[in-house]
A and B are shown apart, each in its own frame.
Chain A
Amino acid sequence: MSSPRNAAVCASGAAWCALAAILAGLGCASALAVAQTSSMFSNLANPAIGMNALFSGLAAHNLNQPYGMQFDEAEISLISVVDPYWTLTSNIVFTPDGVDPEEVWVRSTKIPAIQLKLGKIRGTFGKHGMLHTHAFPFIQAPIVMSNTIGEEGFKDAGLEASWLTPLPWFSELTGGVYQAVGPDDEHPLDLGSTRHDNVPYLGHFKNQFDLGGETTLELGQSFLQGRGSDGHRHAAWGADVTVRNVPATSSNRHGWILQSEYLQKTSTVGGSTIREQDGGYASFQYRMSQIWWAGIRVEQARRSFTDFVVDDVGSPVPAKVTRASANIAWMPSEFSFIRLEYSHAKADAGIHPTDDRLAVQMSYTIGYHPAHAY
């Protein structure tokens, strides 16, 4: 309703009145538009989001650190279909040291028999190297990992193609090329030459056989090579074997995994190949019930570095380290676990001939979490 004052203004200036009417109309239209188009910001195509938080405690008398609990990492995963041709997966890891875009890659969905992975990927090398930290079967990674391809596997930007061969069983051949990288804490293998012809490359061959309806045998061979910052060729080799049993009528209550893996790091200098660090592990995990798992592992790493093997001034020294670990895990649901682990190790160098430690780890997952590989 117009007030007498407004009517007077209109009478004295029809042009201003018309302008006001237009502006008012536009205002109404704008408000209406906001109301009608709020769905333009739809979240229906948002990616699946999840997070895993990992905490741990360690009591190790040889280490120069207080016993106690610590926050290890929070891994945020975002996964979504990009378009009819690609699916994108990302795992961003927050640790006390900072943020690491651990994995950000796309996977092809339209190519028959071949799958392409492109981006920051976890190179397909071995078995343990393919696992995220919260999926490690034991709290501590095998010592050989951090001395060959990296404690959490070989993580680098690159392109991988994996081919499911036409053989009658599952037989997968993977090849990849990567960015020059290392050596650093995450990449013990020196592939960091800046020469233009340095394109580190990987090969992986995996075969899996069903031994009846409940047990499988998996065999894998891996190879990674490139030129190092010292100008020499550096390589890592690996072989793994896994026998796994999942009873058909109690797949979430019973089962066992027997696994062994060997890794080796080499350098080629002046035409001769030198074996550097090498070692392996054998582990047995047993599921006792829906909520209880237990495991034992023995391992050895040669010419290798690990946290308790230091000289009298505290500097790391290489040694042959043999370690045995045992753990038990309580999983009240699929989304959380607490596990307790004891390990005993001995080394042939350094000021601590033996090492005993007790570790506890807690894992919690919220939101969407992709299934772990078999």
Chain B
Amino acid sequence: MKYLIRSIFVSMVILTSSGAPPASADLKVATSLTDLASVAQLVGGKHVTTQSLCRGYEDPHFVPAKPSLMKAIQHADVFVSVGLELDAGWLPLVLPGSRNPKIQPGAKGFVDASEGVEVLEKPSGTVSRAEGDVHPLGNPHYYTDPKALEIVADHLADVFSRLDPTNAVDYAANAKAFDQKMEASLAKWQKQMAPYKGAPVVTYHKNFVYFANRFGLKEFGTVEPKPGIPPSPHYLSEIAERMKKEGVKVVLYQPYYNADPCNQLAKRVGGVAVKVATEVGGVPGTADVFSKFDTLVASVAGALSGKSGGQP
């Protein structure tokens, strides 16, 4: 029996050791969102490899906590969470399941990407689920604001530099280049969106708040009556009436939301429902954060112009 126990223990140690990644200068970065993986790749450059657990066309609130996700991050050096409890429905299973002490909350390799971001819609009083599945720490969809991603890039450069000081200069230079490119791009996107300042839009969920805030759009309402609650026919009639009255013609929704109520609303008001990606990889042509915003801005501007029907 003693021999058996010793053999099992020795085998476990050997196999665990042999399963460790080969020595390499690369940082293995895993993220909860594709946008964070994109920023991490642009900041880390050739010194990092990245992967996102949530795919761009998948609802980040409801990622199935598959054991294979735990396996995927077993040897990650860094895990970047979107924070503000957006991934709280699945990350508490996936992170411990990875058995990777380097990326558990509190460890050097765990990053809350929302740190330093100016959070919108922070509840001022008591949080009640009578208002639906509200995010108690504020709206977590800050990755729809280009400026917020600059903060994330700077944050990641600091983290990567601490974990891999040899390449700290590269990380800092990459973050600076990222910020400069984002500023230049933002000026271009703001110019595209300038004619639509104050234009009202309806979105499926409250995940365009940061985008609307940055580009001066007015969030008229949401297709879901409250966060996480699907719309009833009565509610759809009610919001359609309000939209008609105020002349709201554009409904925006992500690939992971139910298109039916969005299309119904658009039909009732004689407007257009546009499927857009707020996450990298959500629709074709959104391979990184820059192309995502290119496509998103073109889609929204096209829909508001009434010419392209939302096609970029």
Co-assembled chains A and B: yes
Contacts A290-B230, A291-B230: A246 and B258 contacting too (C-beta < 8 A)? no
In the bound complex, how far is the Cα of B19 from the Cα of A227, in angstroms?
37
Chain A residues positioned under 8 Å from B105 (CB to CB): 81
Does B267 make an interface contact (CB < 8 A)?
no
> In this complex, what residue of B is CB-closest to A165?
B15
Does A208 make an interface contact (CB < 8 A)?
yes
Does A110 make an interface contact (CB < 8 A)?
yes
Let me know if B106 and A81 touch, CB within 8 A: yes
Bitwise, B89-119 to A at CB < 8 A (1) or not (0) is: 1101100111111001110000000000000
Contacts A170-B67, A208-B67, A249-B255: A213 and B55 contacting too (C-beta < 8 A)? yes
Bitwise, B1-29 to A at CB < 8 A (1) or not (0) is: 00000000000100110111000000000
How far is the CB of A161 from the nearest CB of chain B, in Å? 9
- B99's contact among A87, A115, A290, by CB below 8 Å, is which? A115
Let me know if A333 and B255 touch, CB within 8 A: no
Bitwise, A64-100 to B at CB < 8 A (1) or not (0) is: 0000000000000000010010010000000000000
> In this complex, what residue of A is CB-closest to B129?
A335
Chain B residues positioned under 8 Å from A246 (CB to CB): 64
Does B256 make an interface contact (CB < 8 A)?
yes
In the bound complex, how far is the Cα of B92 from the Cα of A107, in angstroms?
13
Let me know if A370 and B92 touch, CB within 8 A: yes
How far is the CB of B304 from the nearest CB of chain A, in Å? 25
From B33-41, B68-76, B179-187, B194-202, the one touching the partner chain is B68-76
Chain A residues positioned under 8 Å from B20 (CB to CB): 166
In the bound complex, how far is the Cα of B61 from the Cα of A13, in angstroms?
75
Let me know if B18 and A166 touch, CB within 8 A: yes
In the bound complex, how far is the Cα of B70 from the Cα of A90, in angstroms?
23
How far is the CB of A148 from the nearest CB of chain B, in Å? 25
> In this complex, what residue of B is CB-closest to A289?
B230
- A333's contact among B55, B58, B96, B132, by CB below 8 Å, is which? B132
Chain B residues positioned under 8 Å from A110 (CB to CB): 101, 104
> In this complex, what residue of A is CB-closest to B133?
A334
Chain A residues positioned under 8 Å from B98 (CB to CB): 164
Contacts A164-B74, A166-B15, A248-B55: A374 and B65 contacting too (C-beta < 8 A)? yes
Does B229 make an interface contact (CB < 8 A)?
yes
Chain A residues positioned under 8 Å from B123 (CB to CB): none
In the bound complex, how far is the Cα of B92 from the Cα of A112, in angstroms?
17
- B65's contact among A111, A218, A373, by CB below 8 Å, is which? A373
In the bound complex, how far is the Cα of B19 from the Cα of A115, in angstroms?
16
> In this complex, what residue of A is CB-closest to B101?
A110
> In this complex, what residue of B is CB-closest to A253?
B258
Query: What is the total of A-B residue contacts with beta carbons within 8 Å?
Result: 113
> In this complex, what residue of A is CB-closest to B229?
A333
In the bound complex, how far is the Cα of B129 from the Cα of A332, in angstroms?
12
Let me know if A249 and B133 touch, CB within 8 A: no
Chain B residues positioned under 8 Å from A109 (CB to CB): 96, 101, 104
Contacts A109-B104, A374-B65: A251 and B15 contacting too (C-beta < 8 A)? no
Which A227-255 residues sit within 8 Å CB-CB of chain B? 244, 246, 248-253
Chain A residues positioned under 8 Å from B58 (CB to CB): 248-249, 251
In the bound complex, how far is the Cα of B101 from the Cα of A333, in angstroms?
34
In the complex, which of the residues B62, B67, B71, B97 has the most CB atoms of chain A within 10 Å of its own CB atom?
B67
Does B59 make an interface contact (CB < 8 A)?
yes
Contacts A110-B101, A164-B99: A170 and B71 contacting too (C-beta < 8 A)? yes
- A163's contact among B16, B59, B68, by CB below 8 Å, is which? B16
How far is the CB of B94 from the nearest CB of chain A, in Å? 9
- A374's contact among B93, B229, B258, by CB below 8 Å, is which? B93
In the bound complex, how far is the Cα of B66 from the Cα of A374, in angstroms?
6
In the bound complex, how far is the Cα of B96 from the Cα of A172, in angstroms?
13
> In this complex, what residue of A is CB-closest to B104?
A109
Let me know if B62 and A113 touch, CB within 8 A: no
Let me know if B65 and A252 touch, CB within 8 A: no
Let me know if B63 and A251 touch, CB within 8 A: yes
Let me know if A371 and B15 touch, CB within 8 A: no
How far is the CB of A246 from the nearest CB of chain B, in Å? 5
Let me know if B256 and A249 touch, CB within 8 A: yes
Does B57 make an interface contact (CB < 8 A)?
yes
Does B306 make an interface contact (CB < 8 A)?
no
Bitwise, A334-370 to B at CB < 8 A (1) or not (0) is: 1100000000000000000000000000000010001
> In this complex, what residue of B is CB-closest to A368?
B88
Does A210 make an interface contact (CB < 8 A)?
yes
In the bound complex, how far is the Cα of B92 from the Cα of A113, in angstroms?
17
Let me know if B57 and A208 touch, CB within 8 A: no
How far is the CB of B58 from the nearest CB of chain A, in Å? 5
How far is the CB of A372 from the nearest CB of chain B, in Å? 8
How far is the CB of A330 from the nearest CB of chain B, in Å? 12
Does A169 make an interface contact (CB < 8 A)?
yes
In the bound complex, how far is the Cα of B255 from the Cα of A112, in angstroms?
37
> In this complex, what residue of A is CB-closest to B282?
A249
Chain B residues positioned under 8 Å from A170 (CB to CB): 66-68, 70-71
> In this complex, what residue of B is CB-closest to A246?
B64
Does A62 make an interface contact (CB < 8 A)?
no
Contacts A249-B256, A253-B258: A333 and B228 contacting too (C-beta < 8 A)? yes
In the bound complex, how far is the Cα of B71 from the Cα of A209, in angstroms?
11
Let me know if A251 and B256 touch, CB within 8 A: yes
Chain A residues positioned under 8 Å from B93 (CB to CB): 370-371, 373-374
Chain A residues positioned under 8 Å from B132 (CB to CB): 333
Pairs A–B under 8 Å by Cβ, sample size 28:
A84-B106, A107-B96, A115-B96, A163-B99, A164-B70, A164-B71, A164-B99, A165-B19, A166-B19, A166-B20, A169-B71, A208-B68, A218-B67, A246-B64, A248-B55, A248-B57, A249-B58, A249-B256, A250-B258, A251-B256, A332-B229, A334-B133, A335-B129, A371-B92, A371-B93, A373-B65, A374-B65, A374-B93
8 further A-B pairs in the complex, CB-CB below 8 A; given A113-B99, A251-B63: A166-B15, A208-B66, A216-B67, A251-B58, A252-B61, A333-B228, A334-B228, A374-B93
Give me the 5 closest cross-chain CB pairs, A-B, nearest first: A166-B19, A170-B67, A252-B62, A208-B67, A170-B71
